[in-house]
Homo-oligomer: A and B are copies of this chain.
Amino acid sequence: MQHYFINSDSLNLTTWEVTIVEDAFHIANVMRMTVGERIVVIAADSSYLVELTNINPKMCVGQIIEELSFDNELKTKVTIAHAFVRREKQEDTIEKITELGAYAYMPVIMERCNVKIDLDKQDKKRTRIEKIIKEASEQSHRTSLMKLYDVCSFKALLNQSQNYDLCLVCDTTTNPYDISSIVNDDNIKNVLVLIGPEGGISENELKQLENNNFKKISLGKRILRTEVAPLFVMAIFAGSEEIL
């Protein structure tokens, strides 16, 4: 069944009516749904089974049949802090980690990011990325939208770190922290995982990370590119929680 994230304003919990504007074109002209068909709408982290009563490419209306009680989010909230990469790679990463259940994505400017960042263009970019997150969340049947942070400095990342139960940094070193102890620890609800740029994390940065209590983790024997490492991290968390 098709899922749609909508604004909570579009939901009238007195009349149990839902008004859909943003996705009306998709419902009417892409999915070509007809009156009586059902969809799932998610508003403010609650899900509802909705029967469509009026279909128009500009606005659709539906009647709530029942509130649903499924939760497809991971118990561990994983925030991926990712060195700033070029647009296509970033979008690809964001789309895939959304499907894999990441809680949030935080692009970070690091020493060895060899990508120019035009801060004036970030607003336009943000709109585009939010659309990617919404669509990936709908298609993968998530019950919350992945959170998107604005591009931040390395210093801002370090300042953020105290908001997490655990901070990790992916690095190929000799004595990595044992990640299995984390994924089975119920006290760790909020994890930040940093993935560095193609050029690697500088020694200076690594020192500051260690001073701010970041633990190094290894991602196995093979060297993963900066856009593949976040997928691997998310698959490990999702796999440990739901499969292994």
Contacts and interface: CB of A to CB of B under 8 A. Distances in A.
Interface of A: 72, 92, 96, 99-101, 139-142, 179-180, 183, 217-225, 228, 231-232, 235-236, 238-244
A142 B222 contact: yes
Given A101-B222, A222-B72, A222-B141, A239 B243 contact: no
A139 B225 CA distance: 8
**How many copies of this chain does one complex carry?**
2
A218 B236 contact: no
Please indicate which of the listed interface residues A220, A221, A228, A244 has the most CB atoms of chain B within 10 Å of its own CB: A221
14 contacts: A72-B222, A92-B92, A96-B228, A96-B231, A99-B222, A99-B228, A141-B223, A142-B222, A220-B241, A220-B242, A220-B243, A228-B231, A239-B240, A244-B244
Contacts of A241: 220
Contacts of A222: 72, 99-101, 140-142, 238
A72 B99 CA distance: 28
A231 B220 contact: no
Contacts of A225: 99, 139-140
